Amino acid sequence: MPIANYDQYQDMLNKAYKGGYAFPAINVTSTSTANAALKAFADMKSDGIIQVSTGGGKFASGQGVANMALGAISLAQHVHLMAEHYNVMIALHTDHCHPEHVDKFLGPLLEESQRRVSKGELPLFNSHMFDGSVLPFAENMKTSLELHKKCQKLGIILEIETGIVGGEEDGVNNEDAPADKLYTSAEEMVEVAKILRPIGPFMYAATFGNVHGVYKPGNVKLRPEILKNGQEAVKKELGAENCHWLVFHGGSGSELSEIHETLGYGVIKMNIDTDTQYTYTRPIVDHLFSHYEKVLKIEGEVGSKSHYDPRAYMKLGENGMTQRIVQAIVDLKSEGRTIFTS
């Protein structure tokens, strides 16, 4: 199935919102990790979201180019091609783009989508995230509104964030963020709806104590009631039709019961990155340690080409990552949830 169009993407998100489930949004950095995600969604007959961060895009472009936008374009083109061969709906998204990267990341990606749309094609990405949480709220909303208008003209959905997701991801460290910044207020959630909803649909990463990175279960102190209270405030002041499509960042180490609770409050997308990094790498480590003398040329020996061929262990990495995404699909209750019709 081709990548979802604007109406299909909205349909995916609306059905998730009304049905009490969410889509895993999988960060990818290579064609291999993208293939792992595609296979997982197809195996579970679940629509899904594949996303690229600024760091992921930079890595994908190669060390000789190191261009975050160009790498993201390359990965997106790969997914556009491969998605044609799977019977589920896939949406493409870009993850956290902080203010200092807007001109060199979102700018070129929007320009590429404009070129595609002018030729009657789909935009390259279905949605983009602008993370202005480091800015004062008014400045965050000013830039978010400007980007929201640009995205809507191209049939792209914007994701924004207020509050700060703690921890560290992709080179951005918020481990020392003030405690009050880890929780979005109900007043902010109402104000965001007032500012952005008139332009069109958007996604919202409201923070409720969530953190990036990996933590043991129980170490992350979530307060899902933050989302509930905010949504109720929006409903009371603006009506139920203005409640938010919410995004859960930093889910590693969260209790499954807490994840399920957030689904009842409007979470329709949950980012998965740390866990899939580990489950891609772990089988590779096992392979290299188990076949140490075959992957190295030791003491004049020639090793074993079938063992040190990167394809041998990258397939294992892909399979490990696919299995973790399958688990995420089950946890988020999106198994069998596809709007694809043949």
b/e code 288-306 from CB counts within 10 Å (16+ = b): eeebeebbeeeeeeeeeee
Q: What is the distance in angstroms between the CA of the first residue and the CA of the last residue of the chain?
A: 9
- SS3 string, 136-180, reads CHHHHHHHHHHHHHHHHHHCCEEEEEECCCEEEECCEECCCCCHH
Contacts of 64 (CB under 8 A, 6+ apart): none
Closest listed residue to residue 197, CA positions, set 144, 154, 248, 123: 144
Q: What are phi and psi of 269, to 5 degrees?
A: -150, 130
95 is catalytic: yes
CA 184 and chain centroid, separation: 20
Neighbours of 219 (CB within 10 A): 10
b/e code 96-116 from CB counts within 10 Å (16+ = b): bbbeebbeebbebbbebbeee
Distance from C-alpha of 226 to C-alpha of 84, rounded to nearest angstrom = 39
Active-site residue, selected from the candidate residues 95, 131, 273, 331: 95
Q: What is the dihedral of CA 292, 60, 8, 23, to 10 degrees?
A: 40
Q: Is-contact 238 196, C-beta < 8 A?
A: no
Furthest-apart CA atoms within the chain: distance in Å: 76
Handedness of CA 145, 204, 159, 218 (dihedral sign): positive
Q: Which residues are catalytic, by number?
A: 95
